[in-house]
A and B are shown apart, each in its own frame.
Chain A
């Protein structure tokens, strides 16, 4: 049973701070890792993908992957109230397009 675990939160940070979201996965052959943002009542929106160990930066977002520790994280710098949403970690294994999702971390950025 492939599992993806996230801190359920909720997580609150002040505006301008760094928000740190964490995710662990159980399937060692996992090859693709994604972070989605989901606003209440909306569908998930892809914000980051990462496939290799290390860091990947895109604007205020940085994804970090450590396959040895089976750990992936998302850092949001200079957090804004508009970042308030549920963040979903998703993991893909092998050649399948099937993604396994964590339960999500609800982030609130306080003005």
Chain B
């Protein structure tokens, strides 16, 4: 079974530009979460989508947005890029299962390394 795929793998942008990152979850997985990883802040939750709806959102400014399509693929967008947005952006997918069954495992894609100059 193919894993989580993310495109592009690397991006270089300049301040003020916007960027769109794409994520395809593992086949059959319906939940997609996005995380930002930086050396200073570690891994931080951005948002989570299920059935084309954002269910949870982390503590990030409104410049960070996302969406999910009917085939569970997801995109995230960052507008008006700042130098501090340079990071590894990770997408994770999981099955939608009752939490009481404990199947809440998230599997990460390879990430998109964004550099803002």
Contact = CB atoms under 8 A, between A and B. Distances in A.
Contacts, number: 63
Interface residues of B, number: 25
Interface string B35-69: 10000001111001010000110100000000000
Interface residues of A, number: 26
B55 A97 contact: yes
Interface string A86-98: 0010101011111
Q: List 6 A-B pairs, minimum CB-CB distance, nearest first.
A: A51-B102, A101-B43, A43-B108, A32-B104, A97-B48, A43-B111
B45 A98 contact: yes
Contact of B99 (A32, A36, A49, A90): A32
Given A31-B99, A88-B43, A97 B94 contact: yes
Interface string A47-62: 0010110000000000
A99 interface: yes
A97 B108 contact: no
Contacts of B102: 32, 49, 51-52
